[in-house]
Each structure stands twice: as C-alpha cells, then as structure tokens.
Amino acid sequence: MSLKVWIDGKLLDKDDAKVSVYDHGLLYGDGVFEGIRVYNGRIFKCEQHLGRLWDSAKTIRLAIPYTRDELRAAMEQTVKANNFTDCYIRLVVTRGVGYLGLSPAKCARPTAFVITDTIEMYPKEMYERGMSVITASVIRNHPNAISPRVKSLNYLNNILARIEANDAGVPEAIMLNHEGNVAECSADNIFIVRGGVVMTPTITDGILEGITRNAIIDLCHRDKIPCVERTLQRHDLYIADECFLTGSAAEVVSITRIDGRVIGTGTPGPVTKRLHDAFHRYTREG
C-alpha cells in the first residue's frame, strides 16, 4: 500500500504528492518545518512542536494559513491513514508558489504538507557502543543572519557539515558558532557529562532549541541529575567523562570519540545510559 501524504487538505498517494517547481520552498529554501515523533499512537510534544513552528514562521514573516488545531488534525489524519502507531512526521510550511524572483510578494498562499514515515537515524549497534564524530569547519548560522533558532528549509550549512562527517567516515559533525564555541551537531543537540553534572550549550550559543533536548533537561531535573546550560568549548568536549546527542529522529545516542580523541572510557557512560533508558520509558510507557 502506498503511503499517504497530506497536502493542503488532501491526502494523496506518495507518488502523486508533489509541489510546484515554482514553490519558494524549493527555489529558495523559503519555509519552515518540524520533525516530530509518534509513540504508541500519540504525537510526542505536539504543542511544543507547533509552538516552535509558529515562532519560526513569525521570524521569517510567513503567515501559516491554518490554525494549530487544523495542523494537529492533519498530522493525526495522516498517521491514521498510514496505519502507524510509531513513526516520524515531517510537517512543512513553504512560502508557496511564486515566480523566479526573490520577492515573496507574488506568493499567493503558503503551502503546507505532512509526511509520515519510519526513520532510523543510526544502526542499533551505534546506540549500544556509541559513535565517533568530528568537529566541522562549517559554523552554525550567525544569529544576525537567519537565527539557528528558526527551523527553516535552508539547511545548507548543516549539510556541508554532514558532508565533512561523511568524508571522515563518521555519522555526525559538531558545529561551532561564530565565536568558536560549541553549538550543536548538524542535526542534533549535544550534551556532555563531567563530574556527574550534565551540561549543554545555551540557546544563545547558536542552537536550535530542541524538543528532545528540553525533554532530557526535564528528565534530569525529575531524576535529580544535576544539569546546567552553559557555554562550552572544544576543550570541554575533549575532557568530558561522557558525551551524547539528542534529537527527535536520533533520540539519545552516545558519542565516544571526537576528532580522534576517546571520550571517557570510550563506551557509553552511566549517566548517558540512565537518560537513554529514562527517555525510552518516558516516550513509550507514559
């Protein structure tokens, strides 16, 4: 059975789900999106994802032509149409169909679509053994360009960082900000553990404020694990006892080597394992 995709109120077969080549989302990366998980038939942190979508759209002056309730219903409809109980949702809003010019003035109406599918970011053994990463030469967006807090369709600097990771034979790359401090990975937020304290860059360090990131911070507080948001440098990564990344698609995965340097014991650490298991219970057992 072909997967169904929701586009502006219609469910279409995957092969028939198309947007115009004149859409500014395709021509210029002019739009916003969210990657969202569904666990046991429930959309995880739905309100937080919709809130971030609206914040991103407001920053780029994009008026979403639907209410939050309508987009929530569209996601639920698409999940149900594809008979999923656990899946990944890609919710996208573009500027819409325009013409061959930068100005969005001729884009009559934004386009919205919902994709639901399965996703596996990393192989199972990587979650058990940890992963190696590098530090990319490409920096995260300057906050006075397009803020990293906007989840826009323009991901080219992240893609260039991921190409560097591919060239190095590793699955992820850490991106620094314009000041040379740690921001995040190409598609995930980053945490370290040192002396039993969990640390992660602040929202002013050039990061996307991840929904999974915030859930991990909440779990730390709930489980009495010391956790702080602070500016980190590469030195802090290299001397960490543990390191891990988080994201809607990746969930929680340990980093055991950075730029050829072994982190901690070179295996997933106890705090990372504890948070991985706590997140798994939180999302799947309620």
Active site positions, annotated: 151
Report DSSP state, residue 142.
Answer: P
**Which distant-in-sequence residues (6+ apart) come within 8 Å of 259 by Cβ?**
133, 134, 135, 234, 238
Which ranges of 96-142 does DSSP label H, i.e. alpha helix? 124-129
Query: Taking a C-beta distance cutoff of 8 angstroms, is the pair 183, 148 a contact?
Result: yes
Burial 97-132 (b: 16+ CB within 10 A, else e): bbeeeeebeebeebbbbbbbeeeebeeeebbeebbb
Task: Give which of 43, 127, 125, 144 is closest to 87, Cα–Cα.
Answer: 43
Cα distances (Å, whole numbers) of residue 14 to 17, 77, 83, 91, 95: 5, 15, 15, 15, 22
AA identity, residue 85:
T
Tokens linked to 79: 């999940």
Residue 260 near residue 266, CB atoms below 8 Å: no
- Give CB contacts under 8 A, 24+ apart, made by 216-221: 216/191, 216/246, 216/252, 216/275, 216/279, 219/275, 219/278, 219/279, 219/282, 220/275
CA 65 to chain centre: 23
